[in-house]
Each structure stands twice: as C-alpha cells, then as structure tokens.
Structure 1
C-alpha cells in the first residue's frame, strides 16, 4: 500500500523530523550544534530521487535547482535514519542515510547508474559509505530483492535460505572492514543485520508456503531456534528496527494460528490481544495493540458487531490514553461505514471520457470502485485481474469505476496510462488526491483499495477484496446482479 504525502523542492526539513531513528551512533562529540546540514549535486542523472521513511508511508521527492544542487539545514535532537531512494522503472534501489547533530553530509551523483555513481563527503561520510557498501551487496543477488521475491520465487527454498545466509555473512564482513566506525555503532548494526536476516528468512518461508501451499516447510533449524529466542520486550529495538517489529509480528502470528487451530470460535483479533496481555513491556504492548486495532477496524468483513468486539478487546489491554482516544474516534467513524449505511459522497470528479461525474450520477447499479494511482506498483499489478473481473461481470448490474488519487497536475500521465493499458470501466480523477473529502471520509491511508456500493448508494463493503483475492467473487455473487 502506497501513499505520497508531499513533493518538496530543495527542502525537506519538516517531514524528516517525523522519522527519528534513535540508536548507537558514530558521530563525533559536539555539544553546540543541534542541526545537520544536507546538501548535494545531481548531474547526468534523470531519474527521480526520494527520501523515504522506513515504514514506506511517506515519500519526499528531492527536486534540485537548475544547476542540480539542493541543500537544507535539519534541526535535530537525536540521530535520524532515512533511505535515499531511486527507482529505475520497477527496480527500486535505496541507500541508508544516517544523520545526527553536527553532521554536514554532501551527496553527489554523476552518471545514470544510481549505486555505482553515488558518493558522499563531509561529516557523516563514514557511516554513509558503509551503508552504500551494504546497498551494493544487497543489490548483487536480484532474486533476493523483496520486489522480485513478491513476483514469485524462481529458486528452491533450500537454495534461497543458503543464499540469504551467504549474503548475511558478506554484510557482517563488510561491517567489520569499516574500521572508522565506533564500537557502539557496529554493535547496534550487527543486531540490525541479525534482525534483517531473520526477517528475510521468514519472508522466504511465507512466500513459498503461500505459493506452493506447503504447510510443512520450515526455517533451517538454527534460524528457527534463533527466531524463537528473540526476546519480545526490547523497547529500544522496537523503536529503532522495523525488522524487529516484523519479528514480533511473526511471533504473534504463530500464536494466533495455534489458538485458532485449537478453537476456531476465537477470532484472530481476540487471539492477538490475548498474546499482548502477557507482553511485559508497556510501550510495545500499547503500540502493537494500536496497530492491531487500526488494522482490525479496517478489515473487509467487519460488521458493526465485530467492530464492537474488536474495540472491546483493544480496551482490555491498552493503557495509552492518547491511543485510546484516537482509536475511539476511528471506531466511531468506522461504525458509520458499516454495511447498509449511506456512502460518503463525491462531486464533479474529472471523467476520462469528458466532463465531470458525481456519485449521484452512478446510482441505479452496484458499484465496484477501484482506488488506484499511476505511481502505485501494487495497483498496476491488479490490472490483469481487474480486466478479467470486468469481462466476467459484463452485462450484469455491476458497474466498474476506477478513481485515481493522482494529483491534478498529473492528469496527462493518468490519461496516457488508461489509454496505453486499455483499462476498463469508468475512470475518474479525484479533486485533491488523498486530501479529497471522499478519500478522507472513507479513512483511506493508501492504495490499492476497493469499495462496493449498492444501487441506492448504500455501503456493501467499505474495504472490499481486491480483484486478485479469491474471496471477491463469492462476495459479489451474493449480490442481486
């Protein structure tokens, strides 16, 4: 799921402060500076560059001036880590950038190959050089890049596990070769590499299980033991490592499977909150509970009764009052989006075929609304299945409506993609991307996302199944089409 929040020209100071990465650092002692300077020069390079947060919910586009330069001063109380990212077609490449009070980092690219022609200088160069070396190692084995793994594994699981382990050893060796890094940074990064290795092993396992339906496949024994032995209450690691968070999610998923298998009457959400009751760390408990309830409130099958049950389960473990207040607001809004309630409205969206269209103009048929964007890779991956679906239900009382959350200044790009891909159905463009009132009212954080409405504009599903999900057709077939 992707969402671009902002486009920033020559400055990204405000948003970068949102992504503090607290951890052991390598900076020189500096008692006076509370800021970092980041500047750069981009030459002979046409692709877009971004600073992306670790959880992928924000992309900050770097747009240099006419000479290819950009610069800004970043106020910092603690170190921050982002990913400097380039995307060539669908080949995502990224390099970690670690900034701290007193850093004065210069980023230079001269040439059309991102990782080969990227270089750093200035205060902060030592860590930046290590992260660049790390990125180059990760780039070598294309099969192990996440975006390629999700397309389908082409190698056997045993070989994949061996190659991940070999990559892990290379990364550890490269870390030790950077002699100028502090002992505290090395210790912190060793732990991070361990978590990232376990995350990748678990990802491989899940992908093979899902694609081959092989429930007997397991991690190599030593990694199974290592995963089981990762403590669940390391607050600092939870705050600083996305991979550690994913490992905890793996542990809770395992617990849920065991509970539901023994007692099918227990919902997954109930089982998750049951696991959290035993979590000794209050910070982790509250943050995981917060994520779980927000996910639960957004599920396709959530009726009013199920929403109420999930909310009560959350309240049984949560102690963070700010979270509790935020969840209450979301819960009340979600209750207004349950099946049978009237849909939020939109008016005068640009229609690909000319003029504008409002939701009221589409009443009389069931609507399968597909929310997407031209820059959204997962959205485009759904296109073949969307075409099949539209063809299958052609001639019925189901109308397919695709609404793009692209910015209005990208209308030409939107029109070009619809034509080139011969996309079916009615095509509309929102009036203000993710800030459009229709998108806000439906609590949509990213795309792809689908909605099903009835002939009178009543909600059938505020978060319906995607075209590729097998549950969609049985759901559609319950309707009077």
Structure 2
C-alpha cells in the first residue's frame, strides 16, 4: 500500500503543479496570482499530503464515506479561507481560475477515495460519488468549467464506473443522460468539454455535440466555456491547413512538414519511455509498414517527443524501422503536441496532401488504419 500511496499522492502533486501553470494561460499571470498559487502549492505539499495520508492510507481500513466527506468538507473550508485571505489583487479571470482549480482539487480527493476502496462494486462507487458531490457542495458550487476540471470530472466518473479513462465506450454518456437535473446539465457540459480536449470525435463531432447542448440548455451558465473550447479546436477540423512544423532528423538536418506536401502522412507521435508506443512498434508496426510498402503516396512519419535526442537515437539504432524519423523534443510541451492538444501517447494523425488535416485522431497501426489510408490514396 505504501508504494500505491506514494504514487497517488505524487500524481496529485504533479497534477497540481501542471495545472497551476495552465489556469491563467489566456493571459500573463500577475504576481499576485503567482504568489497565490505558490501559497496553495505550499499548503498541498506541507499540510494536505499528511492529512490525506493519515485518513486514507495509514489506517488499516478506509474511512466510511461519511467520515471522508466530512474530512473533505474541512479541506474545502481551509481552501476557502486561503482564498479569502490571499485573493486580493487577482484579476477577475484569475479569481475564476483559482476557484475552478479548487474544485478540481476536491474532485481529485474524491477520486483518491475511489482508488482506496477498490473492492466496492461500481454501483457503490457511483453512490459515493453522488453523496460526495452533494456533501461537498460541488453540485451547486461549480459555475464555470475549465478543461482541467472537466477532465477531472470525467476521470472520477470513469473511476467510479470501473471504465478505463480514454478508451472508447458508450456507458459513461448513457449514465450522464440518465442523471437528474441540474446535475445532468453540469456533467453533459463537462463530457463535451472533455471530448473536445481529447479530440475524441474531431471537430465536426464536437460541433454537433455543442449544438445539441445549446438546444437543450439555451441559457446554460456553461455555454460560454463550451463555445470557447469549440472555437479553440476549429483549426483542427478536417481540411484545415496545419502549421508548417519543423523537426530534426537523425543526421541533424531540419525537416518540415511542407517537405512532404505532396504526400499523405501517417504521423506517429511517440517517445522511447512510452511502453504502449514500444509495444506497438514490436507487435503492429512491422506488419503495417510491410502492407504499405511500395505506395509512393504514403509516408510513415515517426516524431519523438523525448526530452533529449540520445534516448531517441539509441532506440532507433537498436531497433531498425522504416519510415521517416524526426525529433521534436520537449515532451508534451512540444509545439506540435500543444497544437493538436495531445494529452497522451501514442497518438496518430493523418495529414493529407498540401498539409491538410484528414484525421487528428487516426486509428492505430493495423487493418483499420490500412483501409483508411488505402481509401485516401486510391491504392
């Protein structure tokens, strides 16, 4: 249990520091905001960690749902007090960001409890989640939705239902559609925002989702957040011309996407530390490359986001692969990752001739991807 505890608490801290940089990304944060987030980070690291550890992991058994909710209500009160004492000088948008991040932290605490009580049935976990939202007051408190908060809501719901986050499913949406109002409105908005964040169905799918939500809730307080996110992914719709990103090849030469404007690019974003990426290279990629061999219109392009080039070069020197190999570096901070809103790898895209988007969430290497490329190229 200790290793699990250490991992979960570390994940909470990493999530916190990551989100702290994003919350005010629409503008340059004020010093007041930086000080606020620094103080909140200090509270999480030096106070909250210990309290969560004691109540969830140091005891022989997990606390009752009622006891844990009471604990989290105390955490909420402490965060609220911190806000009252330290929010002076924040811009209005920064105040909104601080509040939505507080909600995200509370959701993370709820998910930690679900992890601790893994033996409970999904129905019992969903019952806790309902009780938690009501007891903490999140049902009434959440009046703005950020991408982080929406993702956290969906991750928590997936955890309660026992469904891996990020995997295609219909159960989560069906469960949300069965919720009572006003909770249904909140979770539908979060579901749509999360789909846009993950580009689950692409721009057109998101556009239809937003239109449906707008028809159902024309006066929703979440419409501004939903519309803003839709506008942000318009550049990723099918047929849009993408930016001409440049990378470095194995010989250190600069290579841009426009160098392949006369080709159809099947783009694979990966890193040497990514287990699923490497597993795909070993089990799927060789056959995929073989099936596409001889088609001059298609280029298999592998772009590494390793922080440093050495691991990338070392892997390729020991594992021969076809295709074009390029280095972006910078991990998830690479420009191409932010442009395409990539939150996890491997990620596959299909870029058509003249650098026009065909699919920003393409199938993995295999028969489905082959058939898609076959239809596009007319082979």
Q: TM-score, normalised by structure 1?
A: 0.49
Bigger relative CO (Cα 8 Å, ≥ 6 apart) = 2
Partner of 1:476 in structure 2?
A: 373
Q: How far apart are 1:430 and its partner, in Å?
A: 1.6
Residue 195 (structure 1) aligned with residue 94 (structure 2): no
- Picking from 365, 371, 382, the partner of 2:263 is 365
Q: How far apart are 1:475 and its partner, in Å?
A: 2.1
Q: How far apart are 1:448 and its partner, in Å?
A: 1.9
CA distance in 2, matches of 1:440, 1:291: 21
Partner of 1:390 in structure 2?
A: 289
Deviations 1:362-412 (A, max 9, x none): 1222111011122333322322222331222111132111112223xx111
- Picking from 190, 194, 199, the partner of 1:290 is 190
Partner of 2:347 in structure 1?
A: 449
CA distance in 2, matches of 1:58, 1:318: 35
Residue 418 (structure 1) aligned with residue 316 (structure 2): yes
SS at match of 1:371: strand
Q: Which has the larger share of strand?
A: 1
Q: How far apart are 1:356 and its partner, in Å?
A: 1.4
- Picking from 399, 409, 412, the partner of 2:299 is 399
Partner of 1:338 in structure 2?
A: 237
Larger Rg: 1
Listed as ranges, the matches of 1:167-182 within 5 Å are 171-172=61-62
Residue 324 (structure 1) aligned with residue 223 (structure 2): yes
Does the CA contact (< 8 Å) of 1:297 and 1:331 recur in 2?
no
Deviations 1:249-281 (A, max 9, x none): 569x9xx858xxxxxxxxx96x566335x2444
Q: Which has the larger share of helix?
A: 2
Partner of 1:355 in structure 2?
A: 253
User: Aligned Cα RMSD in Å?
Assistant: 4.6
Gaps of 5+ in 1: 1-49, 61-72, 81-96, 106-123, 135-169, 177-182, 202-222, 259-267
Does the CA contact (< 8 Å) of 1:285 and 1:318 recur in 2?
no
CA distance in 2, matches of 1:242, 1:297: 11
Paired residues, what number?
297
Does the CA contact (< 8 Å) of 2:199 and 2:361 recur in 1?
yes
Residue 232 (structure 1) aligned with residue 130 (structure 2): yes
CA distance in 1, matches of 2:365, 2:294: 18
Partner of 2:31 in structure 1?
A: none
Gaps of 5+ in 2: 1-8, 20-36, 73-109, 139-148
CA distance in 2, matches of 1:200, 1:389: 40
Deviations 1:31-85 (A, max 9, x none): xxxxxxxxxxxxxxxxxxx93227969779xxxxxxxxxxxx96349963xxxxx
